[in-house]
A and B are shown apart, each in its own frame.
Chain A
């Protein structure tokens, strides 16, 4: 009798209010004026560009064949900008190639964790009762294990590959988002506009996804930006223990761990990937913090 709508309907109602274009333009405009967003976005955009351009940049081969390697542990020079590691591989080119793994792992793992965490946390918090009991119990179960140990167990069981690392991190990391979302949903569902939309004839799924969820997102965005850093760290640690990406794939974490024994005689092997990791994490944190402000309609017109 009534056609399926959902997100589409939300878009239409948004457009009809004349607010759609305006909202998008406004958010972009506010983002442009927000220093944190600009800096964070620039850093991440640069990283993404480097990751995409890695194959065509004029660099040394990150994983040269046995005969092609240079002398091990050469200090930075014009030939090897960041020096060479203990196997004689070019550190600069490995750092650039490592961007691919680190960014892919971090963004995919956080996306998956967010989706699982938001859906389950929202369901638990909104419906309460037995549903909440079961989901919150599951969340707590995952939460009791240190995320890293859990990821290690899954990565070890699934085998070393990029996709498996992403899965392992998602499985071990979603509980945090789930908990945060549940808490938010618990408080938002008690607010009067939720009751009002029920009285106006909206159904549960509509209320959950178009009214409860948008009101819960601010802390999740911030948590996700911190989570990106966490995910990169977990991936590094997994690689360090041999449960991460295949040994030949360059990744920042692996470079850090493999360079550790030589940190006194050849600090460049660990310093450069460390610095790039730091800058990337800073970029995500700035973007996350800034986005929270930009997306909040109450911050409209505020300058910072």
Chain B
């Protein structure tokens, strides 16, 4: 399912750091990730684990004083970290596009929906002819299944509902047929019924346009419905990557197991929900071993001293944990 020739995006050893006065904060440390054509990859993790930072690093929009300090990001063989700012601008929106969390603030309040869409399309497709532009705007609004697009193009963002605005955002992001769509928690600010609609829409669009999607979320339910593969992040690292069903059935990393356990099951009665004890380590301090060691029930001595490496524990199922990197025996403890 996942092995589909060459990857469209290939991240290797990506490290993004913030050089602050108090010291260096390592937001991402050695990210390796491949996204294949027509594939949806979910990035899951708790707040501050570097999900959004991965997205910003790909688009080279890490806010200062943050910086990509090591690693490579290849998009269709093109090394993004070495492009000039001008070349990078040509990539953003056209080849790689992004949808943000809160649709109510992602649109410029003083312009109509139509003019914002037309701006992006004329910018990237050099369409300057009024009628052609108008047709393209209407087409892309129809694509995201907005009712009465002729009216919507004349409306301002405050006249639309949250779900409509997110559809417009998706239209903006998809208006130039990007090969990769990054969706940063696209449904977090929406209510539950609209969430499902937006997710289905995204799923359909990715299928029909043949682009790939990187879906960032902290909601396992969202990725389960939408993604082919799941990538679990913790403290700026990827700890486990596997096909969605594979990961839900047999999670390997103790953190992934904890996450799945913490997910309440509908209909099950519980007085207390499961939690993962402890808190995220301080990213300002370099840790010699595994970042999860203090919260892990299966930790061993060498977890404190040597960082684990990514191993293919089962075909297509990668995990970064000493339990699987030879020597250690997988236990049920975690």
Contacts and interface: CB of A to CB of B under 8 A. Distances in A.
Interface of A: 2-3, 5, 9-10, 12-19, 22-23, 129, 191-193, 195-203, 206, 210-211, 214-215, 297-298, 300
A196 B101 CA distance: 10
Given A9-B122, A298-B109, A200 B133 contact: no
A231 B111 CA distance: 32
Contacts of B137: 16-17
Nearest to B113: A17
Contacts of A196: 98, 100, 106-107, 169, 172
Question: Majority SS of interface residues in chain A?
Answer: helix
A16 B106 contact: no
B102 A192 contact: yes
A19 B154 contact: yes
Contacts of B114: 13, 16-19
A198 B169 CA distance: 14
A215 B109 CA distance: 8
A2 B169 contact: no
B160 interface: no
Interface stretch (B88-96, B213-221, B240-248, B310-318): B88-96
Contacts of A203: 89
A17 B108 contact: no
Contacts of A13: 114-116, 118-119, 121-122, 133
9 contacts: A12-B133, A14-B115, A16-B133, A17-B154, A192-B105, A201-B89, A201-B123, A297-B156, A298-B109
A13 B59 CA distance: 25
B232 interface: no
The 5 closest A-B pairs by CB, nearest first: A17-B114, A13-B118, A201-B93, A200-B93, A16-B133
Given A18-B153, A193-B108, A298-B156, 4 more contacts: A13-B119, A17-B115, A193-B105, A200-B97
Contacts of B118: 12-14, 16-17
A197 B173 CA distance: 10
Interface stretch (B124-132, B194-202, B274-282, B322-330): B124-132
A298 B110 CA distance: 8
Contact of B120 (A5, A23, A200): A200
Contacts of A14: 111-112, 115, 118
B158 interface: yes
Contact of B92 (A15, A191, A199, A211): A199
B105 A191 contact: yes
Nearest to A196: B106
A16 B156 CA distance: 15
